[in-house]
Amino acid sequence: MHALVAAGHTVLVEHNAGELSALTDDEYQAAGAEIVGSAHDVWRLAEMVVKVKEPIEPSIGTSARGWCYLPTCTWRR
């Protein structure tokens, strides 16, 4: 995330996205992320989506513009 922000990208993270992995919104913000209210907001606002798991059906059609989806990534603390 630091590298993306340093390169001038805006990183959007859904509120409480890290809850199951013990990452807080504050930690994401400290790394440079902007917290948005819901997954729908991320899909609607993003130009590229990096997601650990596959998108669920309701999320797929919510992007307001063309976007790139990158499935599966490994995050390390």
Query: What pairing do the DSSP bridges indicate for beta strands 34-36 and 12-14?
Result: parallel
Cα distances (angstroms) measured from residue 66 to each of 15, 20, 30, 32, 74: 23, 30, 29, 24, 25
> Does pLDDT of 7 surpass 80?
yes
| CB 70, CB 48: distance < 8 Å | yes
| CA-based torsion, 58, 61, 66, 69: positive or negative | positive
Model pTM greater than 0.75?
A: no
Amino acid at position 20, single letter: L
User: How confident is the model at residue 47, as a pLDDT?
Assistant: 81
Q: What is the pLDDT of residues 25-64, one digit of tens each?
A: 999 999 999 999 998 898 888 887 776 666 666 555 555 5
